[in-house]
Amino acid sequence: MLWIAALFGIFLLGIPISFSLGITTLIGLAGAGLPMEVLVQRMFTGVDNFAFVAIPLFILAGNLMAVGGISKRITTFSEALVGHWPGGLGMVAIVASMIFAAVTGSAIAATAAIGALLISEMISKGYSKAYAASLVATAGSIGPIIPPSIPLVVYGVIVGSSIAKLFMGGIIPGILMGVFLMIANWMISKRRGYVGRETKSSAAELRKGLKDAILALLMPVIIIGGIVGGIFTPTESASIAVAYSLFLGTIVYRELSWKDITRAFIEAAVTTGIILTVLMTASLFIWFMTVKMIPQSITQSLLQVVTSKWGALMVMNIILLIAGTFIDTTSALTIFVPLFLPLVKTFGIDLIHFGVMVAVNLTIGMCTPPLGVCLFVSCEIAGTTLREMFKDLILMLVPLLILLLLITYVPGIVTWLPNFLGL
């Protein structure tokens, strides 16, 4: 426990989490007299996994789709579907984020792309800046749950679980996240008078919206269908996503310039560098914890106060919710999953169920201050502050917390689909 406390003490000094992990392990190795060669060996081993190739590719695909005309067509089609409902533009933001999630798997990309298209329009239609920003940020958090999902790739590698099963396990919870947010938006819009478009879309408008968006909507069908059908692996699907997004943006829609492509590649490289640095130092820290028997010690301590599977799940959820407020998703995964794994195995908790539960928990952290990355994106677009957003943000987080409890205590919501598909 001393080393965990030391890690968070260094992190709270303002040092980035990747360096905090490395410094803590370096001090521990020196104190224990362990060979320093382990530093390089474990850091290399931490990222020497073929499945991690999917991470930069999915990030790149998301960047290309955000600027290549795909997000605009998804939003237009979503408006034709639900724009006439109470809180119409809010409904459009949620539905568009769900579709965009199935295309990119990135919360930040979904928040930025959908927010840029809808937040200013929502404000002009009478929505408060705080509510528009809160809604788009929480809707963007669906991104890492509906496949493809970078957090689920990382989790799958850590525990050695099937990434295909994890992807399928995330579909129903991801859809339910959208449904719960739509219900909350409907109730709030009714009370505040946020109305949708005056008329329902005609069949011709729906056909036109579908025609314009059909190629973008085929992306998740190709990715998920190929994985389930055994045509390609999740990692290979990421390369297909990049090729398909380049094809749509340059050849079909012709909205993707060389400047956009260059910027997308640079941003993907920078983001990937940050993630891989965390994974390298986290792998080193995990190895050190294993040598010092820290996960087993934590498990023994928790078993003195936790006597049931459901109690263990609640304790882990609380810890992850707190951690998610100030640690990024990748770092939290690589730190806490190995710590909790002995406890998970002790109570016989399904690894697919646990993985999706952790992913949902930590994506909620992407919408909670002080490290809610989706909040900063939507705040910037809306021209508001976290302080002004606080009340509306709480309202939009409640349905997500309810869903987290639901999938925690009803595992079938996660495990039914992968079992049904025989994965």
Q: Which residue has the higher pLDDT, 328 or 131?
A: 131
Rounded average pLDDT over 198-209: 80
Q: What is the pLDDT confidence band of residue 356, given thresholds at 50, 70 and 90?
A: very high
The reported pLDDT for the residue numbered 11 is 67
pTM exceeds 0.85? no
Q: Residue 176: its pLDDT value, please?
A: 95
Residue in the block written with tokens 């890492």 = 144
- The C-alpha atoms of residue 181 and residue 131 are separated, in whole angstroms, by 13
Residue reference for tokens 């079909």: 252
Contacts of 229 (CB under 8 A, 6+ apart): none
pLDDT exceeds 90 at position 203: no
Q: Could you tell me which residue, 373 or 312, shows the higher pLDDT? A: 312
Q: Residue 169's pLDDT is what?
A: 94
Average pLDDT over residues 187-199: 84
Burial readout 201-234 (b: 16 or more C-beta within 10 A, e: otherwise) = beeebeeebeebbeebbebbeebbebbbeeeebb
Quick one: pLDDT at residue 234?
Answer: 77
Check pLDDT > 80 for residue 313: yes
Q: How confident is the model at residue 8 (pLDDT cuts 50, 70, 90)?
A: low
Residue 3 has pLDDT above 70, yes or no: no
pLDDT at 360: 94
Confidence at residue 12, expressed as pLDDT on a 0 to 100 scale: 66
Q: Is 161:176 a contact under the CB 8 Å cutoff? A: no
- Would you state the structure tokens that stand for residue 276, as one six-digit string? 């891989």
* In the predicted structure, residue 1 carries a pLDDT above the cut 60: no
HEC-encoded secondary structure of 239-275? HHHHHHHHHHHHHHCCCCCHHHHHHHHHHHHHHHHHH
Greater confidence (31 vs 249) lies with 249
pLDDT above 90 as % of the chain? 19
Higher-confidence residue: 295 or 89?
89
Predicted confidence at residue 398, as pLDDT, reads 94
Per cent of the chain over pLDDT 70 is 96
For the chain, the average pLDDT equals: 83
What pLDDT is attached to residue 286? 76
**66-120 pLDDT, tens digit each:** 777 777 788 888 878 887 788 888 888 898 888 877 777 777 777 887 888 788 8
249 pLDDT exceeds 70? yes
> Model confidence at 202, in pLDDT bands (50, 70, 90)?
confident
Average pLDDT over residues 201-227: 80
Residue 317's pLDDT band, with cuts at 50, 70 and 90, is: very high
Query: How sure is the predictor about 418, in pLDDT bands with cuts at 50, 70 and 90?
Result: very high
Tens digits of residue pLDDT in 396-412: 999 999 999 999 999 99
The pLDDT of residue 180 is: 96
**Entry field: residues in the chain:** 423
